[in-house]
Amino acid sequence: MFQRILFVALTFLIALSSRLSAEATVAIGYQPGSRANATFRLPTVPSPVQGDAASRGKWLVISGTADPASGGLGKLSNDQLPRSADQPAENFFFAPATPGGRLRLELDRSTEIAQIRTYSWHPRERAPQVYTVYGCDQQEVSSGGKLLENDESVQLKPSGTIDPASCGWTKIATVDTRRDGIGHGGQVGVVISASDHSVNDHSVNDHSVNDQAIGHYRYLLFDIHPTRPDARFSNTFFSEIDILDADADVTPAKPIATPDIVTYAIEEGGYEFTLDTSECPDLTRWADQELAPVVQQWYPKIAEMLASDDYEAPHDFQIRISSSMDGVAATSGTQVTCSANWYRRNLRGEAKGATVHELVHVVQQYGQSRRTNRRAARTPGWVVEGIADYVRWHLYEPASAGGGVAGRRSRTLQYDASYRDTAAFLAWVITNGNPDLLAKLNAAARSGTYSAAFWKAATGKTVDELATAWHADLEN
């Protein structure tokens, strides 16, 4: 009887200690799908780590049904990350058309927890996170030395119909990333802590685990809900869950290595870029030794030549060589995607030049003017692509004869045919008395003020007059 009373008293004191911990705060980081990769570099929260307390714990589904297509509970804390946005076998998630479920994590010991971090990645509705997390510090007590799963005061396996707070669990935090406008695909990271631990430097080593702890717990319970109850496939793809001990010496946090996704610094201008060859590891060495130096040299040059008032070129950008992409390469915002198949065939030819062309698009960002000015004019595509090919064929590869245009007859060349044709036209106009044309044309395009009248104002001649003079010069 005395032992029973002592046990209840100890349980009460431990629970009270947990409840007296500072109220947890929730920091949310989001990376749109166009910029996400396996490094999980999120703008405002740290990246996932390995060696944390969760990696030594045991996961259990206590309510709900795991989707057999998922990778199972082991994926939550195996210190490995998905390589792409839709890899069911590298994530844990509940079955379709179900209301989520409950997961319990049993740590290897009672732990003073500093941070709880959860990460997800999916191209659509399964990226956001909706859950409530609870903590419990029930002790192993029974005459046979086995864990007492449920007694009158504590239930370590509360079913989905039981409020955990009514049976010995302490509510730590409620998370709903949909409230932060995260309703579509991408990567989501959540940090629960006793104070705001969001970061702005992308540092995976800035864990700040020496502040006041969330609480002292042996068990954590995640009550998980679908992101869209009306959608069949809306249970979150959880990629990693990290639990950081308050004692950094006990739980050293190390970044998860991704050798074929590398971030490079550009000293001139303080830029940086990520080069992702995870889908084509046979190109990793070429990308590192040949492509990366070209990007480091030419991105700041392009940023300088395409500068304009009140504008700064993107500080960071991504280059992904994709095994599934058709064509050559394309840029969306600051995400450059290149075709692995085409690049393999052109490693000694056009591959690096094609990348320089895309770097111009990263710097251009001509669509931004329409976000703030509804009257801003849309720059014609031939101008956009002509500028990119001018930089590529006439500045980066000046010995290419304009990409082969120099040998063609004038009647086959049109100033507004885009790409190499327009690049050749721009080169001629610049060479013939208009050295600042590129800067003026870029400024007009970025500000949304480009029109046919630009040419007369910038050169003293209409674009048709310039084209006629260009053709006449080519015939001589």
Asked whether the beta carbons of 358 and 431 are under 8 A apart, the reply is no
Q: Is the pTM of this model over 0.75?
A: no
Superfamily of domain 2-255: Galactose-binding domain-like (2.60.120.260)
* Residue 394: CB atoms within 10 Å: 22
- Parse the chain into domains and list their residue ranges: 2-255, 272-475
Binning pLDDT at 50, 70 and 90, where does residue 202 land?
A: very low
pLDDT tens-place string over residues 161-176: 999 999 999 999 999 9
The count of residues in the chain is 476
Region 280-305 average pLDDT: 97
CA distances from 432 to 16, 129, 306, 371, 395 (A): 82, 59, 20, 36, 16
Q: Which CATH class is domain 272-475?
A: mainly alpha
pLDDT tens-place string over residues 115-156: 999 999 998 899 999 999 999 997 643 434 344 455 557 899
* Residue 433: CB atoms within 10 Å: 9
φ/ψ region of 418 (left if φ > 0, alpha if ψ in -120 to 50, else beta) reads left
Q: Which residues, 6 or more positions from 138, have their beta carbon under 8 angstroms from its beta carbon?
A: 11, 148, 154, 156, 168, 218, 219
DSSP assignment string, 357-379: HHHHHHHH-GGGHHHH-TTPPPP
Asked whether the beta carbons of 133 and 125 are under 8 A apart, the reply is no
pLDDT of 3 > 60? The answer is no
Asked whether the beta carbons of 43 and 139 are under 8 A apart, the reply is no
Site of tokens 């007694």: 151
Region 271-280 average pLDDT: 92
Report the sign of the C-alpha dihedral through residues 178, 180, 184, 189, in that order.
negative
Distance (Å, rounded) from C-alpha 143 to C-alpha 138?
Answer: 16
Region 417-435 average pLDDT: 96
